[in-house]
Amino acid sequence: MNNSKYEAVLFDLDGTLLDTALDLGMATSHVLSLYGFPPISDETARTHASDGMRALLKSGIPESEHHKYDFEAMRLQFLPYYHEHIADRTCYFNGTAELIMALKRHGIPYAVVTSKPDHLACRVLGKFPELADIGVIVGCDTLPVSKPNPEPLFYACRKLNVTPEKCLYVGDHIRDIEAGHNAGMETALALWGYIKDKSNPQAFGADYVAEDFRKLAQIIGVEI
């Protein structure tokens, strides 16, 4: 039975539901090696994972040399490698599976709204049993616009047949919080995610800050 004040919960993917940084980093290092650059560290991958492929690639090249490279071409080299190695090192965050199961028990619908391309989001989610049956996945290319534009969140709500103002959006990047507020939703900052400076989480402007999934469960109104 759903006793939560929310009709549904929407999640970002990278750095929120799944710890994907190390596979993103490996794909980045693979592409950089083609251009004679050393691999990036796991720490660098975590720092830039939520900023997208282009930011990851730029992190491994001196800024003074960025103008020499076609990052769109590099992104196209990144994609097939990442597709094949998308879950080599990716894993749940502590509590991911338990929260999803709690939402199911309480009959609370949920969806993923991510900056990952749709086919990659579906592929990585399909590797994890508790996430494989998520029916509504909105990627960065599902619609002509992406976060922080609210339309991807509105689209997910229409698919779930819920009211945006009665939903919670959970993410680890400022664009997630902005997208949620632009959609009229309450937001929760996933403090376990890829946040560069965790010393002042209030600076993101989220309605809630969740240190872990247990705290997020309390915000939603379920037990894990």
Kindly tell me the sign of the dihedral angle through the C-alpha atoms of 203, 206, 207, 212.
negative
The catalytic position among 14, 19, 172, 176 is 14
> For residue 148, is the peptide bond before it cis, meaning its omega torsion is within 30 degrees of 0?
yes
Within 10 angstroms of residue 152's Cβ, the number of other Cβ atoms is 24
**Residues whose CB falls within 8 Å of the CB of residue 62, separated by 6 or more in sequence, listed in order:** none
**Catalytic site residue 14?**
yes
**Catalytic site residue 12?**
yes
The catalytic position among 12, 23, 172, 176 is 12
Extended beta strands in 44-183, E state: 91-92, 110-113, 137-138, 167-171
Known catalytic residues are 12, 14
